[in-house]
Amino acid sequence: MCGINGLILNKLHPQSEIKRLLSEMNQVIIHRGPDEEGFYTDSGSNYSLGMAMRRLSIIDLSTGKQPIFSEDRSIAIVFNGEIYNYKLLKKNLLDKNVHFETTSDTEVILKLYEVYGTDSFSMLDGMFAFSIYDQKLKKIFIARDFFGEKPLYYAHNKEGIFWASELKSLIKVFPEKPAISAKGMALYFQLTYIPAPFTIYDGTFKLEANHFMEVDCATNSFKITEIKQDFPNDIDSDISFSEAKQMTYNLVNESVLSRSVSDVPIGTFLSGGVDSSIVSLALSRQKDHPIETFSVGFKKKSFDESDRSREVAKLINSKHHEFIISVDDLSNSIDSILLNFDEPFADSSSLPTYLVAYKTRQHVKVALTGDGGDEVFGGYNKYYIGKLNSKYTNLIPEQVHSGIKKWTSPIFSTKDDKRGSRFKAKKLLGAINYEDDFYYNIISLAFKEGEMTSLLKDKYQVNNTFRYFKEKVGDKNKSLTDFRNIDRLISLEGDMLVKVDRTSMLTSLESRAPFLNKKIWNFTSQLPEEYLLKGWSKKYLLKEAFKEHFPSKFLNKSKKGFGVPVGDWLRGQLSVELNSYIEPKFLNAQNLFHPEMVIPLVSAHLSGKEDNTFKVWTFYCFQKWYLEIYSKI
């Protein structure tokens, strides 16, 4: 697990200058790899290049130092991530008389490329971002894993091409301050995050998951290609539920086993929910000693579920570590957590995720998580809403729905961030949409597209915010499979995986997600949808596959999610700072927002007149980024 950086400058530069730039890029991501660093530089007739990395040693502690080279040193690689099937891939290469110098998974990627070229990228089961320089071809190949677990940013400007694991590395060597992207703004204020390929900056992008970039060093040009996955259609169309249940049990256990290979101590995040409980159970059954489990709870009881994690820990006889947190625990960390994302990011669950990662890192170096279980097995409430939307809009005319919303608004209005039944009812009515692209309305957790005109100044207005993604997935927006695919491309890559990667790597902890396995995704994507979402039972197949290993009805208990009472915090300890963000003089100088919309919105929340947690927190996180990062570039 590491952080990588690289650049190609379209003029010849001294190698000392290239290494200086790489050192600057490395310096700001030491948290991703505190154990060691490596550099590689080269030049052609009209270009200079360099690749660098910071390493967090997990596998092959003694011989895995990067960069790693081919035998003739014409090919070099720097790599961030873990390849879980590298031993099998290595065995196949050994059968072809391929020679290895190390026992690392990094060298396996390099040797695969030597034998199969870019076709080898689809053979990898893991989380990764890597760059391979082929001196003979004068090309660099930069690739990102299937789900986008590992980040990769890039920029192409007049100086050359740059890439890095984190935005801060790019900003460090940019020749000039980048402009704020209107597209990035629109996506952020609706979703609360910015999915690939977009960022908050014009001219700077994220390499999309399951894609690779082919860079021609000599011409300073590149093309991006999707990695073609050879998914087998090996599930009988009439597969029985009993057969699917057994296959699910086997696949999950197999994936947990593959993700538990490590030369350093390993544990699990245990929230007490279905996914983390199953991963913890599976890992405990594969070890001959008690595993270590880690969880956080909250002093505010409506958000606390620590009793559930304790129940699972007792069941699997783990060495359990529990941390109860309050706003005071976050006061010294909130800035470093939010600003480490490098661009606006308003998923408030990043705060406890960081704290549990920080505490976990004091005991182990690797933690398994339950991330991805909802996308893979159909576990979100929004999947209900997606199905309900079609039925509701067919029965209730839009005009009648508008009247219902207006009539119930005072009834469902909340003044406190408790997220109880009134909160859920209001959220459900607000999610109903009569357009064909209603699911994008459902996943817009902050502002809806129709509110953007009154929020942002004309310069930052974007028509059809989600056009790129609609073109990518087509017009399909009706079935559970459609919803899951949209989530894989947008919510999983842009939110969940960003949150976990940045918060865990900030503490130098490697997190691994067994549910994010291409084989499992392909399996569930071939099943009848009712196996995943049966009536009102989410993740039905997964829960049925493991229910006999848990107390009766445990896996069917409702879960609150990893929520945080930031609505209360905004009215309390953070209120002075928040008030400074809506000062009319400041807003007018900033020239991004319409003050007549923003000031009443925030003021209503601060006064307790109305709970506007999601919108106000999104605004707060943006302003913190703007003042602490963008204004200082």
Residues forming the active site: 2
Half-sphere exposure of 163 (CA within 13 A, CB side): 29
Residues with Cβ within 8 Å of 236's Cβ and at least 6 positions away in sequence, in order, are none
Which residue type sits at 15? Q
β 211-216/221-226 pair status: antiparallel
358 to 77, 260, 343, 353, 526: CA distances (angstroms): 30, 20, 21, 9, 38
Tell which phi-psi region holds residue 73, choosing left (phi > 0), alpha (psi between -120 and 50) or beta. Answer: left
CA distance 198 to 200: 7
183 to 441, 461, 487: CA distances (angstroms): 17, 8, 19
CA distance 616 to 607: 13
Question: By C-alpha distance, which of 436, 418, 444 is closest to 189?
Answer: 444
Name residue, tokens 């699972």.
Answer: 312
Tell which phi-psi region holds residue 338, choosing left (phi > 0), alpha (psi between -120 and 50) or beta. Answer: alpha
| Distance from the Cα of residue 118 to its chain's centroid | 25
CB-CB contact of 112 with 93 (8 Å): yes
CA distance 153 to 260: 28
Burial class (CB in 10 A: 0-12, 13-18, 19+), 289: exposed
Burial class (CB in 10 A: 0-12, 13-18, 19+), 95: exposed
Residues with Cβ within 8 Å of 576's Cβ and at least 6 positions away in sequence, in order, are none
Question: By C-alpha distance, which of 81, 164, 66 is closest to 512?
Answer: 81
Specify the 3-state DSSP secondary structure of 572.
coil
CB-CB contact of 482 with 475 (8 Å): no
CB-CB contact of 216 with 148 (8 Å): no
Specify the 3-state DSSP secondary structure of 377.
helix
